[in-house]
Each structure stands twice: as structure tokens, then as C-alpha cells.
Structure 1
Amino acid sequence: MNRNLGQSSLRRKRRAADPMAAFDGLPQPLRRWVAQAALPWSPASVRRVWSKSRARGLSEDEALLSLTKAEARTLASDRHSTDFKLNSMT
């Protein structure tokens, strides 16, 4: 996991729970999204964004797009990341 944040100014976090068990508990579309994500998302964070999006009535694809946009905002705030643009996700 360190390779994803090796050259980043973003904070690293430690997890107390078993990350693989939490990952395995995610719905299939979320597991696929996390597997290709640019950042090392926690299953709890992914599930939180997903649940809020779905509660607002968004489709699965729209909920996944909201995750991609959230990731883009995080990457944009990283002062070492210069090649990622939020506009490319819309």
C-alpha cells in the first residue's frame, strides 16, 4: 500500500480492523472500483460515500462516479500530484 502514497503529501492512516475482511464485505461494484483506485481507500470510506450516494437515489454508476470525483478532489489537494484533473472525470 505504501507505493500508492510514496510521493504524496497526503496523510497516511493506520487501520485496526482486518482490511481484507472489510474489503470482502463490500458489494462487487465497490470491490472493482477500489481495485482500480489511485488511492488506498479504506472499505469504510468507500462504503460511506456509496451509501450516501445511493440514499440520495443515485444509480450504481452515478454512485461510482461520485467516488471517482471524491478521489479526484483528494488527488487535486495533493501538492505532489500535478497530472490529475477533476474535469477529466466528468
Structure 2
Amino acid sequence: MNRNLGQSGLRRKRRSGNPMEAYDSLPAPVRHWVAQAALPWSPTSVRRIWKKSRAKGLSAEEALQSLAHAEVRTLARDRHSMETRLDS
């Protein structure tokens, strides 16, 4: 069972702690972004990108765009890895 992780070829990681508690502690705009995301992001990964963006002085909207850009890069990497496997 893939447990709602989709057909991604990306490596999965085990996480410790309570993921719902970590999710609930995210700022509201970030929680909304995660709910709409195409990939199953971990709260830790999202928080890291958010904090890094905000530390650079980006606005909340710009930080959300950073999250979207990270997702596009990850989807491109997944697409490339799946194409490589199909060509084999």
C-alpha cells in the first residue's frame, strides 16, 4: 500500500515525532499551501523552506512562491527519474 503518496518515484523517508502536531504548528498560509500542494510535503521540509525565505527578507507571498518553486523543481526531478526508469 502506498498510503496516499501517489506514484512518485522519489525516495521516501521515515519521520519521527507527531506529524499532525508539526503540521498544526505551521503558519496558516503555509498550512493552506500544503493542503493544495501536488506532493505530500512533510511539515519539517515546508517549515525549513518557509523560514529560510522569510530570513532572506521575503514577504509571506514571496515565501509561498518559494515553496511553489521548490515543488516544481521536485516534480521535474521526479519526472526525470521516472522517464529514466521507463527508458531502461
Q: Which residue of 2 aligns with 1:35?
A: 35
Contact kept? 1:46, 1:67, Cα under 8 Å: yes
Tell me the number of residue pairs that the alignment of Structure 1 and Structure 2 aligns. 80
Greater Rg over alpha carbons, structure: 2
- RMSD value, Cα: 1.6
Question: Which sections of structure 2, spanning at least 5 residues, go unmatched?
Answer: 84-88
Report the Cα distance in structure 2 between the residues aligned to 1:73 and 1:44, rounded to whole angstroms. Answer: 18
CA shift at 1:20, angstroms? 0.4
* Aligned partner of residue 32 in structure 1, secondary structure: helix
Report the Cα distance in structure 2 between the residues aligned to 1:8 and 1:57, rounded to whole angstroms. Answer: 33
Q: If the length of structure 2 is used for normalisation, what is the TM-score?
A: 0.83
For residues 1-90 of structure 1, what are the structure 2 equivalents within 5 Å? Answer: 2-5=3-6, 7-79=7-79, 80=82
CA shift at 1:4, angstroms? 3.3
| Aligned sequence identity (%) | 65
Stretches of 4+ aligned residues off by more than 2 angstroms:
1-5
Question: Which sections of structure 1, spanning at least 5 residues, go unmatched?
Answer: 82-90
